Amino acid sequence: MNGTIFDIKEMAVHDGPGIRTTVFFKGCPLGCVWCHNPEGLSIKPQLMYKSKNCTNCGKCRIKCEHPECEPFGRCIHICPENCLSISGREISAKGLAKEIIPTAQILGDGFGGFTFSGGEPLMQSDFLLELINELKNYHLCIETCGFCDSNTFKKVIEKLDFIIMDIKLADNGLHQKYTGVGNGQILENYEILRASGKPYIIRTPLISGITDTKENLDAIQKIIDDSKWEKLPENTMAGAKYNMLGLEFPLKKTKQP
Protein backbone atom coordinates (compact mmCIF):
# COMPACT_ATOMS: atom_id res chain seq x y z
CA MET A 1 0.00 0.00 0.00
CA ASN A 2 0.99 3.64 -0.36
CA GLY A 3 1.93 6.02 2.43
CA THR A 4 2.97 9.67 2.51
CA ILE A 5 6.40 10.78 3.68
CA PHE A 6 8.03 14.20 3.67
CA ASP A 7 11.73 13.52 4.16
CA ILE A 8 14.46 10.91 4.37
CA LYS A 9 17.53 11.80 6.40
CA GLU A 10 20.70 9.74 6.05
CA MET A 11 23.54 9.55 8.58
CA ALA A 12 21.26 10.58 11.47
CA VAL A 13 23.00 10.24 14.84
CA HIS A 14 20.26 11.39 17.25
CA ASP A 15 17.40 9.17 16.09
CA GLY A 16 18.23 5.94 17.92
CA PRO A 17 21.34 3.78 18.43
CA GLY A 18 24.23 4.22 16.00
CA ILE A 19 24.06 5.82 12.57
CA ARG A 20 20.60 5.69 11.05
CA THR A 21 18.47 6.49 8.04
CA THR A 22 15.34 8.25 9.25
CA VAL A 23 12.08 8.34 7.33
CA PHE A 24 9.67 11.15 8.19
CA PHE A 25 6.00 10.19 7.90
CA LYS A 26 3.48 12.88 7.10
CA GLY A 27 0.52 13.54 9.41
CA CYS A 28 0.28 13.91 13.19
CA PRO A 29 -2.78 13.67 15.48
CA LEU A 30 -1.24 16.23 17.86
CA GLY A 31 -0.70 19.92 17.26
CA CYS A 32 2.03 20.89 19.74
CA VAL A 33 2.39 24.67 19.83
CA TRP A 34 6.18 24.29 19.64
CA CYS A 35 6.23 21.74 16.79
CA HIS A 36 9.37 22.24 14.68
CA ASN A 37 8.14 20.10 11.79
CA PRO A 38 4.94 21.89 10.74
CA GLU A 39 5.23 20.35 7.26
CA GLY A 40 4.65 16.99 9.00
CA LEU A 41 1.32 17.90 10.59
CA SER A 42 -1.01 17.46 7.62
CA ILE A 43 -1.09 14.08 5.93
CA LYS A 44 -1.54 15.76 2.53
CA PRO A 45 1.29 17.12 0.36
CA GLN A 46 1.72 20.88 0.92
CA LEU A 47 3.19 23.78 -1.04
CA MET A 48 6.16 25.48 0.59
CA TYR A 49 6.94 29.01 -0.56
CA LYS A 50 10.02 31.10 0.36
CA SER A 51 8.45 34.54 -0.03
CA LYS A 52 11.63 36.42 0.85
CA ASN A 53 13.37 35.17 -2.33
CA CYS A 54 10.38 35.80 -4.62
CA THR A 55 10.87 38.53 -7.26
CA ASN A 56 7.19 38.41 -8.35
CA CYS A 57 8.26 37.47 -11.87
CA GLY A 58 4.97 35.58 -12.35
CA LYS A 59 6.56 32.60 -14.17
CA CYS A 60 5.01 30.07 -11.76
CA ARG A 61 1.51 31.29 -12.68
CA ILE A 62 1.82 30.04 -16.28
CA LYS A 63 -0.11 26.79 -16.77
CA CYS A 64 2.14 23.73 -16.78
CA GLU A 65 1.69 20.03 -17.54
CA HIS A 66 3.11 18.56 -14.29
CA PRO A 67 0.43 16.55 -12.46
CA GLU A 68 2.06 17.27 -9.07
CA CYS A 69 1.69 21.05 -9.64
CA GLU A 70 -2.00 20.89 -10.52
CA PRO A 71 -3.46 20.95 -6.96
CA PHE A 72 -1.48 24.10 -6.17
CA GLY A 73 -2.30 26.15 -9.29
CA ARG A 74 1.42 26.98 -9.70
CA CYS A 75 4.33 25.40 -11.51
CA ILE A 76 6.68 24.25 -8.79
CA HIS A 77 9.61 23.54 -11.13
CA ILE A 78 9.91 26.76 -13.11
CA CYS A 79 10.90 29.19 -10.36
CA PRO A 80 14.35 30.71 -11.11
CA GLU A 81 14.80 31.54 -7.41
CA ASN A 82 13.90 28.07 -6.09
CA CYS A 83 11.11 29.54 -3.99
CA LEU A 84 8.68 26.67 -4.42
CA SER A 85 8.65 23.06 -3.31
CA ILE A 86 6.14 20.40 -2.33
CA SER A 87 6.43 18.78 1.07
CA GLY A 88 5.14 15.22 0.94
CA ARG A 89 5.07 12.43 -1.60
CA GLU A 90 3.17 9.20 -1.86
CA ILE A 91 5.21 6.03 -2.12
CA SER A 92 4.57 2.30 -1.71
CA ALA A 93 6.12 0.44 1.22
CA LYS A 94 8.05 -1.77 -1.22
CA GLY A 95 9.24 1.27 -3.21
CA LEU A 96 10.39 3.06 -0.07
CA ALA A 97 12.24 -0.02 1.21
CA LYS A 98 13.98 -0.32 -2.17
CA GLU A 99 14.99 3.35 -1.96
CA ILE A 100 16.43 3.23 1.57
CA ILE A 101 17.97 -0.25 1.79
CA PRO A 102 21.09 0.85 -0.18
CA THR A 103 21.81 3.39 2.59
CA ALA A 104 22.22 0.43 5.00
CA GLN A 105 25.67 -0.21 3.51
CA ILE A 106 26.98 2.85 5.35
CA LEU A 107 25.08 2.17 8.57
CA GLY A 108 27.76 -0.23 9.83
CA ASP A 109 27.61 -3.78 11.12
CA GLY A 110 24.91 -3.90 13.74
CA PHE A 111 25.55 -0.30 14.83
CA GLY A 112 22.69 1.43 13.09
CA GLY A 113 19.45 0.92 11.25
CA PHE A 114 16.27 2.63 10.17
CA THR A 115 14.15 5.01 12.24
CA PHE A 116 10.51 5.95 11.57
CA SER A 117 9.73 9.52 12.60
CA GLY A 118 7.43 12.33 11.54
CA GLY A 119 4.87 13.73 12.02
CA GLU A 120 3.62 10.60 13.70
CA PRO A 121 4.42 7.27 12.00
CA LEU A 122 1.65 5.48 13.93
CA MET A 123 -0.91 7.63 12.11
CA GLN A 124 -0.16 5.52 8.99
CA SER A 125 0.09 2.26 10.91
CA ASP A 126 -0.90 -0.11 8.06
CA PHE A 127 1.72 1.42 5.78
CA LEU A 128 4.24 1.37 8.64
CA LEU A 129 3.60 -2.34 9.34
CA GLU A 130 4.10 -3.14 5.67
CA LEU A 131 7.35 -1.15 5.61
CA ILE A 132 8.56 -2.88 8.80
CA ASN A 133 7.94 -6.21 7.10
CA GLU A 134 10.05 -5.11 4.11
CA LEU A 135 12.90 -4.08 6.46
CA LYS A 136 12.70 -6.94 8.94
CA ASN A 137 16.40 -7.85 8.63
CA TYR A 138 17.50 -4.46 9.97
CA HIS A 139 17.53 -2.73 13.37
CA LEU A 140 14.28 -0.72 13.48
CA CYS A 141 13.38 2.18 15.74
CA ILE A 142 10.42 4.56 16.05
CA GLU A 143 10.12 8.11 17.34
CA THR A 144 6.52 8.44 18.49
CA CYS A 145 4.25 10.72 20.47
CA GLY A 146 2.49 7.53 21.64
CA PHE A 147 -0.98 8.69 20.63
CA CYS A 148 -2.88 5.85 18.95
CA ASP A 149 -5.18 3.05 20.04
CA SER A 150 -3.50 0.48 22.27
CA ASN A 151 -3.94 -2.48 19.89
CA THR A 152 -2.15 -0.67 17.09
CA PHE A 153 0.57 0.48 19.49
CA LYS A 154 1.16 -3.10 20.71
CA LYS A 155 1.14 -4.53 17.19
CA VAL A 156 3.78 -2.06 16.01
CA ILE A 157 6.16 -2.02 18.99
CA GLU A 158 6.40 -5.80 19.12
CA LYS A 159 8.00 -5.68 15.65
CA LEU A 160 10.54 -2.98 16.54
CA ASP A 161 13.95 -3.11 18.20
CA PHE A 162 14.01 0.27 19.94
CA ILE A 163 11.30 2.78 20.87
CA ILE A 164 11.71 6.50 21.50
CA MET A 165 8.49 7.86 22.99
CA ASP A 166 7.60 11.37 24.11
CA ILE A 167 5.96 12.26 27.38
CA LYS A 168 5.65 15.99 27.04
CA LEU A 169 3.28 17.08 29.82
CA ALA A 170 2.11 15.11 32.86
CA ASP A 171 -1.01 17.19 33.47
CA ASN A 172 -3.92 16.15 31.26
CA GLY A 173 -5.39 19.67 31.04
CA LEU A 174 -2.05 21.24 30.06
CA HIS A 175 -1.45 18.44 27.56
CA GLN A 176 -4.82 19.20 25.98
CA LYS A 177 -4.08 22.93 25.94
CA TYR A 178 -0.62 22.75 24.38
CA THR A 179 -0.84 19.69 22.11
CA GLY A 180 -4.55 19.58 21.25
CA VAL A 181 -5.18 16.17 22.88
CA GLY A 182 -5.28 14.78 26.42
CA ASN A 183 -2.51 12.45 27.60
CA GLY A 184 -4.67 9.49 28.81
CA GLN A 185 -4.04 7.33 25.73
CA ILE A 186 -0.34 8.21 25.71
CA LEU A 187 0.12 7.20 29.35
CA GLU A 188 -1.79 3.96 28.72
CA ASN A 189 0.56 3.20 25.84
CA TYR A 190 3.56 4.10 27.99
CA GLU A 191 2.49 1.34 30.44
CA ILE A 192 2.25 -1.10 27.52
CA LEU A 193 5.73 -0.08 26.41
CA ARG A 194 7.16 -0.47 29.90
CA ALA A 195 5.65 -3.94 30.24
CA SER A 196 6.79 -5.01 26.76
CA GLY A 197 10.42 -5.62 27.69
CA LYS A 198 11.53 -3.69 24.58
CA PRO A 199 14.44 -1.27 24.96
CA TYR A 200 13.09 2.26 25.02
CA ILE A 201 13.78 5.85 26.02
CA ILE A 202 11.36 8.58 27.05
CA ARG A 203 11.90 12.05 25.62
CA THR A 204 10.61 15.42 26.80
CA PRO A 205 11.20 18.58 24.75
CA LEU A 206 12.06 21.41 27.14
CA ILE A 207 9.81 24.28 26.12
CA SER A 208 10.31 27.38 28.22
CA GLY A 209 7.44 27.99 30.65
CA ILE A 210 5.42 25.03 29.29
CA THR A 211 7.18 21.69 29.64
CA ASP A 212 10.35 22.78 31.47
CA THR A 213 8.61 23.73 34.74
CA LYS A 214 9.67 21.99 37.95
CA GLU A 215 6.07 20.77 38.46
CA ASN A 216 5.95 19.13 35.06
CA LEU A 217 9.41 17.56 35.22
CA ASP A 218 8.83 16.23 38.75
CA ALA A 219 5.46 14.78 37.71
CA ILE A 220 6.95 13.10 34.61
CA GLN A 221 9.75 11.67 36.75
CA LYS A 222 7.10 10.12 39.02
CA ILE A 223 5.30 8.54 36.04
CA ILE A 224 8.36 7.13 34.34
CA ASP A 225 10.24 6.16 37.51
CA ASP A 226 13.58 4.61 36.51
CA SER A 227 12.97 4.63 32.73
CA LYS A 228 15.74 6.18 30.63
CA TRP A 229 14.82 9.82 30.08
CA GLU A 230 16.22 12.34 27.64
CA LYS A 231 15.35 16.03 27.87
CA LEU A 232 15.70 17.83 24.56
CA PRO A 233 16.66 21.52 24.38
CA GLU A 234 14.15 23.87 22.76
CA ASN A 235 14.63 24.36 19.03
CA THR A 236 14.83 28.13 18.68
CA MET A 237 14.72 27.96 14.85
CA ALA A 238 11.35 26.17 14.91
CA GLY A 239 9.32 29.15 13.65
CA ALA A 240 10.98 29.53 10.24
CA LYS A 241 9.06 26.80 8.37
CA TYR A 242 5.62 28.11 9.39
CA ASN A 243 6.07 31.17 7.14
CA MET A 244 6.79 28.91 4.17
CA LEU A 245 3.44 27.16 4.73
CA GLY A 246 1.56 30.42 5.18
CA LEU A 247 0.95 29.61 8.86
CA GLU A 248 1.60 31.45 12.08
CA PHE A 249 3.96 29.80 14.61
CA PRO A 250 1.52 28.85 17.42
CA LEU A 251 4.19 29.07 20.16
CA LYS A 252 4.74 32.75 19.31
CA LYS A 253 0.99 33.38 19.61
CA THR A 254 0.81 31.42 22.89
CA LYS A 255 3.58 33.54 24.40
CA GLN A 256 2.13 36.89 23.33
CA PRO A 257 0.98 38.90 26.34
Per-residue interface string for the shown chain with ligand SF4, residues 32-51, x marking contact by CB under 6 A: x--x-x--xx----------
The stretch near ligand SF4 (CB under 6 A) out of 12-20, 114-122, 169-177, 240-248 is 114-122
Residue 102 to residue 123: CA distance in whole angstroms: 26
Instruction: Enumerate residues 54-73 that contact ligand SF4 by CB under 6 A.
Output: 54-60
Nearer to ligand SF4, 114 or 178 (CB): 178
The 3-class SS string of 211-236 reads: CCCHHHHHHHHHHHCCCCEEEECCCC
Nearest approach in angstroms of CB 108 to ligand SF4 is: 28
Q: Count CA atoms closer than 13 A to 10's CA, side-chain side.
A: 10
Check binding of 113 to ligand SF4 (CB under 6 A).
no
Which residue lies nearer to ligand SF4 by CB, 104 or 187?
A: 187
Q: Is 145 in the site for ligand SF4 (CB under 6 A)?
A: yes
182-241: contacts with ligand SF4 (CB under 6 A): none
Q: Report the nearest approach of ligand SF4 to the CB of residue 39 (Å).
A: 10
Give 122's contacts (C-beta < 8 A, 6+ positions apart).
Answer: 128, 142, 144, 147, 148, 152, 153, 156
DSSP letter assigned to residue 6: E
DSSP state of 65: -
For 177, the 3-state DSSP assignment is helix
Name the residues that contact ligand SF4, by CB under 6 A.
28, 30-32, 35, 37, 40-41, 54-60, 78-79, 81, 83-84, 118-120, 145, 179
